[in-house]
Amino acid sequence: MRLLNPSLRFVKTLLSVFLIIEIMGLPMLIIGLVCSIYMKYNIKNNLVIGFFIVVFICVMSITFHLREVIKAFINKEIFILKNVMRLRKIGFSTIIVGVFVFSYRTIKYGLSAFIILNLDDNGIVTRIDTVLWIFIGVIILIFAEIFKEAVRIKKENDLTV
């Protein structure tokens, strides 16, 4: 188990750096949206910036909760209800990102947003990311339920011993 902790500590540190960068970037995005509205850009541009801010906040939430899960792993607190809740928040945030990516891609590309694999003059084209975020979010929610069951089994095991 000793070999695992340095790598987990590295990941936690990396996530902390990402979180700091994200926190510093959020005011710049909000200022960009306010300036865009003030300068009366078209509504489509404002909508895209608004989508991006929501996605950015969700990514910050994912980074924060993932960092907390890693911290709990380092402290050997793996199967606890807090981690189940954190995984659920990560899953729902990922699905929200997916819905916004799906909406943006559908607005930008129309029906061609659903191209799984296409070979044309540009080479191989895929827009699998249109639904990939939603799929990943559902998988994370499934893992949260697996963790919930593991917490229940651990409690039973602790009471038995």
Question: What pLDDT is attached to residue 42?
Answer: 65
The pTM (predicted TM-score) of the whole model is 0.81
Quote the domain boundaries for residue 149.
4-160
Closest of 57, 138, 38, 61 to residue 100, by C-alpha: 57
Q: How many domains does the chain have?
A: 1
Strand, helix or coil at 78? coil
Q: Which tokens hold the place of 87?
A: 């995984």
Question: What pLDDT is attached to residue 28?
Answer: 81
CB-based contact 54:33 (threshold 8 Å):
no
Strand, helix or coil at 26? helix
Question: What pLDDT is attached to residue 155?
Answer: 92
- HSE on the CB side for 22, CA within 13 Å? 19
Question: What pLDDT is attached to residue 161?
Answer: 64
Strand, helix or coil at 127? coil
Closest of 75, 99, 80, 91 to residue 139, by C-alpha: 91
Q: From first to last of its 161 residues, what are the pLDDT tens digits of the chain? A: 444 578 888 888 999 999 999 888 888 877 877 776 667 666 666 677 778 888 889 999 999 999 999 999 888 898 999 999 999 999 999 999 999 888 888 877 777 666 766 777 777 767 777 788 999 999 999 999 999 999 999 999 988 86
